[in-house]
Chain A
Amino acid sequence: METKNIMIVGVGGQGTLLTSRILGGITVRAGYDVKLSEVHGMAQRGGSVVTFVRYGSEVAEPIVEEGCADVLIAFERLEALRYAHFLKKDGVIVVNDWCIEPITVVTGAAAYPENIIEKLKETHQVYVVNAMEEAEKLGNVKAFNVIVLGLAARHMDFDKELWLEVIAETVPPKTVEMNRRAFLRGYE
């Protein structure tokens, strides 16, 4: 199979590493070769973070390059815009309709761009979810990233049951049911 390129972007602290663990787990379970690349260390402190996931019959480099991503999973609007140019022409954006102002905006040095989703829709297929609101309805706002993952899962090559199995294996035992419901909320 030709290598599939997924990116997960967001703000440090939003749980991109959990999402990439689930994605890494499912690709191995499905029998693919896989490579992931993550950001650790200081950049995690509220900075822009990106995780690359590549799977296929044989994967060489661990990063996704500009113009090569099939799916961009964004936990925040501005981060979706920042990395949109990594997508292929027919690449898909799955975005959490949520804003976290960067310090450059808070201090007034820059302005948060308006109409991001509309702008993205001009050039790409965009799927939007307000995952914070949805997660709140489920009773745990922290489960928002699994909702976004659920929506993105429809653009990848794995069965629903396999997703649920891998999620159950990856998240802390106490949160399995919550994360299962969150995934299905996004997926269905």
Chain B
Amino acid sequence: MAEKKIMLGNEAIARGAYEAGVKVSAAYPGTPSTEISENIVKYQEIYAEWSPNEKVAMEVAIGASISGVRALASMKHVGVNVASDPLYTISYAGVNGGLVLVAADDPGLYSSQNEQDTRCVARAALVPVIEPSDSAEAKEFMKFAYEISEKYDTPVIVRTTTRLSHSQGVVELGEREEPADKPYTRNPAKYVMMPANAKGRHVYVEERMKKLSEEGADFPVNRAEYRDTSIGFITSGIPYQYVREACPDASVLKLGMVHPLPKKLIEEFASKVEKLYIFEELEPVIEEQVRAWGIDVIGKEVFTVQGEYSANLLRRVLYGTDNSVQEAAQVPARPPILCPGCPHRSVFSVLNKLKIHAAGDIGCYTLGAVAPLNVIDTTVCMGASISTLHGMEKAKGKDYIKNWVAVIGDSTFMHTGVNSLMNMVYNQGTGTVMILDNSTTGMTGHQDHAATGKTLMGEEVPAINIYHLCKAMGIEHVQEIDAFDLKALEQALKEETKRDAVSVIITKAPCVLLKGNVFPNVCRPLPEKCKKCGACLRPGCPALTKNADGTIAIDETMCNGCGLCQKLCAFDAIACEEK
């Protein structure tokens, strides 16, 4: 009997890629997609890399596909925006070896800056989308995605969501297929997308999508389940499970391919059920098309376009009641916070003290936007900190940004921040850029990047030196400062924000959660010296709490001995000493 294993959705996606014979995988980390690459790398048959950003990752996978092997790119939904340039055009060119892009959407915004629906991108890019409903399907549908990629000469998007990616289910393991490498034959009409060639390919692409829609009626991933026909659902992905949970007797058309839609199958299903609901998270992608065919359905007028769905949501809409038995208690919120000993807290305490605004970026340091640090003013997308600051300067003049900086992490800087910094230099900006270098991609769980000196496959490689990279752009004023050296940070910030030239302050200290990081020290309060001023509490370290008498307590199991609270105490009422 085949081995059964309990697998995270992302682990099952990786397994599916392995079993499909994938040889090359490229990605940039992003919740909820990161664990795909972290599991791919366990298979020695696959070359796997962290690319600096999703566009590069997509192009690496495209190159591998054109050369004749099966290739994978994986990313979160907003990463697809970064990769959309190659995606839209490889849709025209098609593939040689099978090419799959796994896109991880985040309904409910567990860890994202928006709630966009990748199916909308896929419709615009004319790329088919496969959507599994649990870990077992995630693995099987990956293999199916490679089949149709090669059969229909198209890149394929496998769409997952946070709930699927981060849920575990039972998976039956299979053997790895070893498809022979396809020969590469020079074919500019297909692979050189200049106007004359692209015109021809566009004709092909439209035919391809029509064919997929027609033949999709017979794809095994699309399945009509007839039970009670007085009520029917068209659904896909995780919402299918909610339908099965809340309405086990209803008929269901479960779509495994959500773009293009199998029109014949949908028309047939619609004709057999009395009342037809479309149950899809986020945008009304299926609904609008089905309505356009003149089919009467109930959809977004009763189901929200926001957040995650649930069986209880369905019960409330259908039956006016759900399974809940009591109201939720009113309790204080517990939002995520920077860890005890996080170097970002130290840097932000200085920005806060100097009342400097920060154009922010994507990373743990976004948490500097909220109380008590209140430092980050803007967060848009990866790499945007530097360019938005530059835009402010060009709009309002260089004096306007004298109390502003851009803050960006090392991984985000390598992702796309570097382009923005080039622009600031080229177009004669005068902004101050702080690169918070914690030697890793922190928020997604510690992935390496081009400036860490290690690859996804664990190889030691020369690290790109961020200091020299900035210097090579011709930036004269570049400083590296220990992230916990408050005095040096304060002085540098005062100096550099005043300056009429681009300057970069690289703050250095590893992420506290980075493996191998050791903390010899611990901070201990000396209550007899405490003046109860609260200065140590201000940066919001979770290891510090106030006692009933106004002195402070430090939880030694949480404290990492960074010494920030000690440095902020004017009365030597905190000791930072060896454990």
Contacts and interface: CB of A to CB of B under 8 A. Distances in A.
Interface string B25-61: 0000001101100000000000000000000000000
Interface residues of B, number: 57
Contacts of B35: 40
B364 interface: yes
Interface string A132-163: 00000000010000000000000000000000
Interface stretch (B65-73, B394-402, B496-504, B536-544): B536-544
A105 B545 CA distance: 9
Interface in A24-48: 24-25, 28, 33-48
Nearest to A53: B168
Interface string B520-547: 0000000000000000010010101110
B364 A45 contact: yes
B443 A42 contact: yes
A150 to B, nearest CB: 21
Contact of B312 (A46, A66, A102, A106): A66
B111 A42 contact: yes
Contacts of B361: none
B6 A34 contact: yes
A15 interface: no
B389 to A, nearest CB: 23
A11 B336 CA distance: 9
Contacts of B557: 141
A17 to B, nearest CB: 10
B169 A41 contact: no
Interface string B293-326: 0000000000000000011100000000011111
B364 A42 contact: yes
B166 A66 contact: no
Given A45-B339, A61-B311, A104 B244 contact: no
B196 interface: no
A44 B32 CA distance: 13
A18 interface: no
A121 interface: no
A101 B540 CA distance: 11
Interface in B225-281: 238, 241-242, 244-245
B509 interface: no
B336 A42 contact: yes
Contact of B6 (A28, A104, A112): A28
A67 B364 CA distance: 34
Interface string B429-464: 000000000000001110000000000000000000
Nearest to A91: B325
B337 A47 contact: yes
Contact of A82 (B331, B336, B444): B331
B192 to A, nearest CB: 40
B167 A38 contact: yes
Name the residue in B241, B322, B327, B336 with the highest tally of chain A Cβ atoms < 10 Å from its Cβ: B336
B544 A106 contact: yes
A110 B371 CA distance: 13
Interface in A42-62: 42-48, 59-62
Interface string B82-114: 000000000000000000000000000011000
B166 A37 contact: yes
B114 to A, nearest CB: 14
Contact of B134 (A28, A62, A123): A62
Given A47-B335, A60-B241, A85-B328, A40 B445 contact: yes
A78 B332 contact: yes
Nearest to A12: B336
Contacts of A79: 334
Contacts of A123: 326
Contacts of B110: 39, 41-43
Name the residue in B111, B169, B367, B557 with the highest tally of chain A Cβ atoms < 10 Å from its Cβ: B169
B238 to A, nearest CB: 8
B247 to A, nearest CB: 11
A88 interface: yes
Given A36-B168, A41-B111, A62-B167, A46 B332 contact: no
B336 A47 contact: yes
Name the residue in B8, B134, B335 with the highest tally of chain A Cβ atoms < 10 Å from its Cβ: B335
B170 interface: yes
B220 interface: no
Contacts of B167: 35-38, 62-63
Interface in B101-137: 110-111, 134
A43 B336 contact: yes
A153 to B, nearest CB: 18
A102 B4 contact: no
Contacts of A110: 332-333
Contact of A25 (B6, B8, B32, B311): B6
A85 B537 contact: no
Interface string A95-111: 00000111111110111
Name the residue in A24, A36, A46, A101 with the highest tally of chain B Cβ atoms < 10 Å from its Cβ: A46
Nearest to B244: A60
Given A38-B167, A44-B336, A47-B337, A78 B331 contact: yes
Contacts of B325: 67, 85, 87-89
Interface in B343-364: 364
A145 to B, nearest CB: 13
A171 interface: no
Nearest to B242: A61
Name the residue in B31, B323, B332, B334 with the highest tally of chain A Cβ atoms < 10 Å from its Cβ: B334
B166 A38 contact: yes
Nearest to B135: A35
7 contacts: A35-B134, A35-B169, A42-B367, A85-B329, A104-B332, A104-B333, A111-B332
Given A48-B334, A113-B329, 13 more contacts: A12-B336, A34-B168, A36-B168, A45-B338, A66-B312, A66-B324, A78-B334, A84-B326, A88-B325, A100-B542, A101-B545, A109-B332, A123-B326
